[in-house]
Structure 1
Amino acid sequence: MARPTPAGTPYGNYAHAVLTANARRTPDRVALTYCGERNLTYAELDRLVNRRAHALAEAGVEPGRRVAALLNETLHVAEVYLAAAKLGAVTAALNPYWPADTLAAVVARSGATSFVYDSTVEGAVAEIRPRLPEVARWIKIGGPGRSAEAAGDTGSEGGAGNTGNAGDGGDGGKTVDLDALTAGAPEDEPALGGSWDDPLALYYTSGTTGLPKAVVHTHASSLATAQIWLDVPRTEGSVLGTGAIIWGIGFPALVGPALYAGMRLVLEQDWGPANFLRVVPRERVTHVSQIPSFYAALLGSDDHAGADLSSLRVIMLGGEPLPAALLGRMRERLPEAGVYCYYGQTEAPYTCFGRVDDGTTPLGSSGRARTGNAVRVTGPSGDRLVGEVGEINLAGPHRMAGYDGLPERTAEVLRGEWYVGGDLGVLSEDGDLTVLGRREDSILKGGLWSQPSAIEEAAVALDGVAEAGAVGVPAQAEGREATEQEVLLAVVARAGHTLDPAKITLALTETLPAHRRPDRVVVVDDLPHFQDASGGPGKLLRREIRERYGNRTEEA
């Protein structure tokens, strides 16, 4: 159970600190604009969240208990997440794009006893509800539910469509109408049920196999993340725009920081290029956080030519590399905007960032650790490295508490104060971090890490090589460490060419350092790839290369 916030010290409660404090400081400033249709001042938003909190409590949501939240309407996300935080309930922040089987399994594992959802996901709720008998309270926001039969689903009694009276509390297979409860709820702040090191939410991160992992963040770690925008230029009139990516870690990484910094938060449902071009001029948006591919799409056509984007001042980019050519197009089109690259993970959001458009941070780097955070790079033995490839370690008060229900996995990645999540990078003497990729795709040879791409690029540069795939396989030579690997290189010949593995090995020995030189070369007809949405070849499947050719001892 969450402990009550001590009397007189409410600022350890996440929602009080990011919202109520500003409602008292600047009550009449607009806090939130929803889809251009509704404005809420900080005081109005705080009162609305208080009413939602009282309504959730009346519906049976209790401090310290898990409440699953499947929400797609951005305003509902903000209201429910903040209300649950005031109560001290632990929000399991579900992804509305997960398939039904994943949703049901994640909720069952979360231990949630309440489930709150909005009308956009009624179909998914009707499908998973019969599989979740441990959920005692089903709570609908956004109007009363439809009957299961009217919704085209007659498969279960007590499904999401069977809506009861507001006072049912979820008993008897009924759904509580949160709006009805809210209408009669008081506006005063509820008793704050959690603070500081109490769990605030479960945010999910997907792996290559199995269910998404539940990352536990506390009130304290989320408050530390909320300080992101304090480290970038802003004014009293700054406006953050975002769309329906705020469920999950997007909430403490975008919504919380905007409110904490006293900005105006513009929430949209659609944040694609077309609506972006409408909303930015209309709301005079100044701050955004996206991925580089968004700007490749935005600037890839002439649709942006007539749009007034002059209000943009800060563009945060992460998740993928920013090509120099794209940065050049962004600088030309958005000359008043500072372009920042950042790095972090769900387990430690926004740990590093730096401005790249003015040369302050080298292009390709993710910048330095932000105020109060730390980053280092370590070698296989745990020693700190500078200017060499190693594992990225992140630390700070924003770091997760652990993975829910996975103590062994938590112990693997939390090493003292550091989170070590499996990414490789290089840290410069000035503290700039360059992220290279996942450790599982990298090769450890001679005590040094290598990215496969460096080997593959050298191989493809050789005459007659059409494609190459490099992977690490267990070392076969005597006297090598158990963790040491050899480099296996699979190559595909160009049409009309014949490749000799021995000649390829010799040529690469002359051009590559020892830790990148292939120990075995195999010539193959083709390399395995993911299939992209259009049916064409996608990302190289290195695991399959290893499985196919890792045990071949002869050079083909």
Structure 2
Amino acid sequence: MPNLATLLTDSAAASPGARAVVLDDSVLTYGALDDLSARVASLLTSRGVRAGDRVALILPNVPHMPVAYYGVLRTGGVVVPLNPLLSPRELGYHFQDAEVSLVLVWETVAGAARAAAAELGRDVPVVEITAAGTLPELRRVPPLPEVAERAGEDPAVLLYTSGTTGRPKGAVLTHANLTSNARLSAELFSLAPGDVMFGGLPFFHVFGQTVALNGALGAGATVTLLPRFDPARALEILVRDEVTVFAGVPSMYVALLRAAGGEPVRAPHLRAGVSGGSPLPVEVLERFEALFGAPVYEGYGLSETSPVVCFNQEDRGRRPGSIGTVVRGAQLRVLDDAGAEVPVGEIGELAVAGEYVMAGYWRNPEATAAAIQDGWFRTGDLARVDEDGFYWIVDRKKDMVLRGGYNVYPREIEEVLYQYPGIAEAAVVGVPDEAMGEEVAAVVAFRDVPEPERPARLDELDAFVRERLARYKHPRWYKVVEELPKGPTGKILKRSLDLEGAVRRS
């Protein structure tokens, strides 16, 4: 398996004049991206970076990001992509844990990176990348055209998980993991030269990095960037840049629908939406397809699986609400707590094996052994598979609510909440209760409902839910907010929900 950087160099050799990366009026052709990344590799080598060294990348989705990303890979170095919003303390943890040799950081957050590096007790160079100066400066550096040879099992990217429990862990993704999954993604979405991929998913996250960056550039397509997701800007880009494939998380689809205001959107080149990161409510999928005139294909994956392992594949049919069927190169099983496979239709924990599963957690054998058992990665997601081989995510194992001895799956309730016409966003969690052990709580954001009218609408919503769900699944607590808390990829953060002021229902 060649170096992951060959996804770029092969496309550049085939079509050097084709557009690779676009940000508004700024365009990098494949030839320019290839050349600039070779100059980054030369710069890093002159700074002492060698094969296997970890290099932190702290950049938003700007053209400099892929330039730096492929530059590190060309040296044989390991990319450690980090969120530009991290604090100096958080950056310091990642620098220390990954034992980074050098940091490449965007100008607006360079101060935080320097502060973090200064606390390490060893010399770690921090190289600031600027919007105006870096690319012209790079052109004065001689290129390093050769790409370092790497084995398939060698680390390419050290991707830190979100750390919902404890400190973030570094998933070691190899050149084979990421190259194979990028090629798979291009096949699943039928990407080819002439396609334009929406690049609003952050590239420091596995979904954006594999699907929107490596998958698109490996196929010779164009990526049009949006450094910070804004639905109005996204709508403008969809039309202006003739986007053919929109890749996003569910909250992006919700925001686009809100920005569209219920009116059909003229994006004639859009042929597909791709959703992942968390379950997409069927109601949102259907509304998007009606207004944007393009089908939405939902899939599934995690940081630890590179990520795509299941997808609604065109040749297998599409079932809204499911994550589709297992992709080539992956194996899926649904297991009980003892590790035995459950019968078709029954709920268990989804486990993944195959060529996309990470090598392990960085220097954390205990966590690796807990996560990968007998070659199967235990995802922590509850799922079922039907007789036709379609998988359905029921919920996160840790999110399941145990109410009075009954298992309650928040996603099922969220699907009903999203069917109510006035709902923009919704999340369901469990809260402690003396009588029942746990009770069901719903946090919702209404769409265009003035605050004085919200109590009445909440009464309507509660009645709407009660008509559609068994009594033990009814939310007993509701809270209305302007917007739900989200992580850097737009995923709703249930652990950050504040239920103070929630209203009790009988």
CA distance in 2, matches of 1:110, 1:68: 9
Change (3 A) 1:404 1:36: same
Equivalent in the alignment of 2:337: 380
Once the two structures are superposed, the pairs formed by residues 333-344 of structure 1 within 5 Å of their partners are 333-335=291-293, 337-344=294-301
1:491 deviation in Å? Answer: 8.2
Which of 179, 182, 185 is 1:223 aligned to?
Answer: 179
Deviation at 1:534, TM superposition (A): 8.1
**Which residue does 2:108 correspond to in 1?**
120
The match for 1:370 is 327
Report whether the alignment pairs 1:256 with 2:214: yes
CA spacing shift, 1:12–1:393, aligned 2, 3 Å: same
**Which consecutive segments of 4 or more residues in structure 1 shift more than 6 A?**
454-457, 470-473, 526-535
How far did residue 455 of structure 1 move? 11
Query: Among residues 216, 222, 239, which one is paired with 2:196 in the alignment?
Result: 239
Is the 2:182–2:214 contact (alpha carbons within 8 Å) kept by the matching residues of 1? Answer: yes
- Distance in 2 (CA, whole Å) between partners of 1:216 and 1:530 is 40
- Do the aligned residues in 1 keep the contact of 2:333 with 2:350 (CA within 8 Å)? yes
Deviations 1:382-422 (A, max 9, x none): 22222100010112212111111211111111123321121
**What's the counterpart of residue 16 of structure 2?**
27
The answer as to 2:371 corresponding to 1:413 is: yes
In 2, distance between residues paired with 1:363 and 1:87?
43
Q: Contact conserved, 1:443 with 1:471, CA < 8 A, in 2?
A: no
Matched, 1:323 2:298: no
State the SS of the aligned residue for 2:8: helix
Give the C-alpha shift of residue 181 in structure 1: 6.6
The Cα of 1:449 is off from its aligned counterpart by 9.7
Structure 1 residue 284, shift from structure 2 partner: 0.6
Match of 1:295 in 2: 253
1:54–1:190 Cα contact (<8 Å) kept = no
Matches within 5 A, 1:23-102: 23-33=12-22, 35-102=23-90
Distance 1:92 1:220 in 2: 17
**Alpha-carbon distance in 2 for matches of 1:437, 1:491:** 14
- TM-score (normalizing by structure 2): 0.78
CA distance in 2, matches of 1:323, 1:220: 33
In structure 2, distance between residues paired with 1:472 and 1:396: 42
Q: Deviations over 1:243-267 (max 9, x none)?
A: 2611232323320000111211212
Q: Which residue of 2 aligns with 1:496?
A: none
Among 12, 37, 45, the residue aligned to 2:2: 12
User: More deviation in 51-60 or 288-297?
Assistant: 288-297
d(CA) in 1 for partners of 2:129, 2:429:
53
| C-alpha distance 203-491 of structure 1, shift in aligned 2 (>3 A) | closer
Is the 1:530–1:540 Cα contact (8 Å) retained in structure 2?
A: no
Equivalent AA in structure 2 for residue 327 of structure 1: L
Amino acid at match of 2:377: Y
Show the counterpart of 1:173: none
Alpha-carbon distance, 1:527 to partner: 6.5
Equivalences for 1:412-491 in 2 at 5 Å? 412-442=370-400, 450-453=407-410, 488-490=437-439
CA 527–281 in structure 1, closer or farther in 2 if over 3 Å, else same: closer
Amino acid at match of 1:488: G
Answer with 1 or 2: which has the greater Rg.
1
SS of equivalent residue, structure 2 residue 368: helix
C-alpha distance 289-113 of structure 1, shift in aligned 2 (>3 A)? same
The residue type equivalent to 1:380 in the other structure is: D
Cα 1:527/1:101, change in 2 over 3 Å: farther
Q: Secondary structure at the match of 1:27?
A: coil
Question: Which residue number in structure 1 is paired with residue 98 of structure 2?
Answer: 110
- Contact 1:278–1:307 (CA<8 Å) still a contact in 2? no
* Mapped partners of 1:180, 1:301: distance in 2: 37
Distance in 2 (CA, whole Å) between partners of 1:454 and 1:111 is 39
- The residue number in structure 2 matching 1:274 is 232
Q: Which runs of 5+ in 1 are unaligned?
A: 1-10, 145-176, 458-466, 474-485, 493-510, 518-525, 545-556
Please give the root-mean-square deviation of Cα atoms over the aligned residues, in Å: 4.0
* Matched AA of 1:80: A
Q: CA deviation at 1:273?
A: 1.1
Matches of 2:128 and 2:59, distance apart in 1: 10
In structure 2, C-alpha distance between the alignment counterparts of 1:256 and 1:88, rounded to whole Å: 17
Q: Report how far residue 281 of structure 1 moved.
A: 1.4
Partner amino acid, structure 2, of 1:15: A
Q: Which amino acid aligns with 1:364?
A: G
Taking structure 1 as the reference length, the TM-score comes to 0.71
Which string of whole-angstrom CA distances, capped at 9 and with x for unpartnered residues, describes residues 73-94 of structure 1? 5212111111111111112111
Q: 1:529 Cα shift?
A: 8.5
Paired AA for residue 126 in structure 2: W
